[in-house]
Structure 1
Amino acid sequence: MRGINPNLYNRQLHPDERALIKKLAQQKAEQTCNGDAACISTSTTAWSDLLERVAEGQVDDVANAKNMAYLQNILQTAAMPNSEGALGGVDTYLKNLQTAQDMLAPYMGKPIMVGGSPIMADGGVETYFSATPAQCADQYTNYILGTQAPGPVVPRMDLRDQNRLGYLATCNGSAQPDYTLEQMLLGGAVTNKVIGTVGRALAGC
């Protein structure tokens, strides 16, 4: 039965995929932080989380469901008048998530190579940020049977996710409310956009 064990029905990210996420996050941070070391550190973590969310959604049905549930929670903060979410925080997060999708797009579907040869798994070539149904169903595709799967690329991602929700739900009484996003949410436009664009990037196996 699907969904009972969080490690069922997924292909763990390959170490090369995790390494690429780290590399892309670092590069993005360096491009936007103008040499500020503290900014680079914080931004690298943020982009790593975004990239990992998109990547895992590509190869893991359980992660995909978790992603969509989290997005719904994010969207709900935009319906709170004067909240940071309603005042642009949600829109910024969704745009960054879309950017993360675009950053991974050039690599999606390309074979993962080791020693000049593509890696084979469950009867097929293993590719970056994509997987066959057989690979998705094998939780040990990239890790030894009986060993614990690695945690997030940057530890404590769940805590950062909760902190983000808390921040977006925070009331900002000094700012002028912008109900445009709220009205779009109530009309379903934003929700449909997320599912129709980012949702495709987070589609499971």
Structure 2
Amino acid sequence: MSLTNPILCLFEITDPNLIVTGISKERCSTNQRIHVVHATLSYQLLKCPHCGHKSLIKNGTHMSHLRLGTLSGGRYEMHLKRQRYQCKDCSKTCGAKTKLVNRNETFTHNIKHQVIVLARDMLTSKEIAKLCGISPSSVQRILNANIHLAYRVKHLPENLCFDEFRSCNHWMSFNCCDAVSHRRICYFKRSA
């Protein structure tokens, strides 16, 4: 198992509870070759997250299919077996968690970051989807979740100054400010 650490380092995975059990190549429904990293996630829980009692027992595993991203044009996925636990007192179940993905999601933080970086380079969602190995609607979902809208001003000033000008790299920019205090109200930048 000397290969497991370099494989995890390749995708910037630092979870110490993650153990790589194997690597295989599979074909998906679109006849595309996928590199699959098989891994297990298991650690000992001390108490139940629901009731707080120390009466947890192992209760099987749950398979998660995670998208890791692309390397040298190949699509990589992780089939992750997560350990399940059941509490003897409250009979509720819980599973092992990782910081690799958010709860109930299949895209890792690494692939989300890759989508945002490619979007900053002014690529279309179809091009980003092709490079990352995901669908264009997933690209739009990731981008919409990471858009931070500017705050809205409660009251507009009585006198406004605004200007549209060409800024660096042939970008058109719009600036709006208060005519009396010269405080900026809004600023937008869009491509030419």
Could you say which TM-score interval applies, normalised by the shorter chain? under 0.3
Task: Say which structure, 1 or 2, has more relative contact order (CA 8 Å, 6+ apart).
Answer: 1
TM-score where L is the length of structure 2: 0.26
- Between structures 1 and 2, the one with greater helix share: 1
TM-score, structure 1 normalization: 0.24
Structure (1 or 2) with the greater strand fraction: 2
